[in-house]
Amino acid sequence: MPQSLVKQLAFSGKNYNQILQALEDAPPNFSEESLASVKDKINQYIFDYHRARQVKLEALNQLMIGSVLTMLGLTFTAGSYSSSSGKYLLAYGLILGGAWIFKEAYKIYILPLEDLVPKKRRFKRFSRMF
């Protein structure tokens, strides 16, 4: 129970001291052992929160890049179509590439912060010796 409270507080943007104060103000139904083990994990939850925010900001940057590329492609296409010559340029590479970048970034951006925390691996890979 205290672990879920600490995780909730960390992912709401509280710092270490605010989380400790909230644990001290919590009802006294937590054992001392559980509080001691949870205090060790506070920094990890705060780190996970900041890493998840970083991933979300990277996704926001990719959203902007994708939208700019799509708009550039549409602008080049519209500009060449409106020219007086009978030929026009279809910049489908920019349009489709920008739309794909936008779609992939949007899938990451809409996830909750808890889902953006990298999973810890149980097993480590062994490198070949030969």
Q: What is the pLDDT of residues 32-72, one digit of tens each?
A: 777 777 777 888 888 888 889 999 999 999 999 999 999 99
Query: What whole-number distance in Å separates Cα of residue 1 and Cα of residue 111?
Result: 24
Residue 10 in any domain: the answer is yes
Hey, is 40 helix, strand or coil?
A: helix
Query: What whole-number distance in Å separates Cα of residue 8 and Cα of residue 26?
Result: 14
Residue 127 in any domain: the answer is no
Name the pTM for this structure.
0.72
Residue 126 in any domain: the answer is no
- DSSP class of residue 116 equals G
Query: What whole-number distance in Å separates Cα of residue 112 and Cα of residue 104?
Result: 15
Query: What whole-number distance in Å separates Cα of residue 55 and Cα of residue 109?
Result: 8
Residue 15 in any domain: the answer is yes
Range of the domain at 37: 2-116
The pLDDT value given to residue 90: 86
Total number of domains constituting the chain: 1
Residue 124 in any domain: the answer is no
Residue 47 in any domain: the answer is yes
Residue 129 in any domain: the answer is no
Count helices and strands in the chain by DSSP H and E runs: 4, 0
Residue 123 in any domain: the answer is no
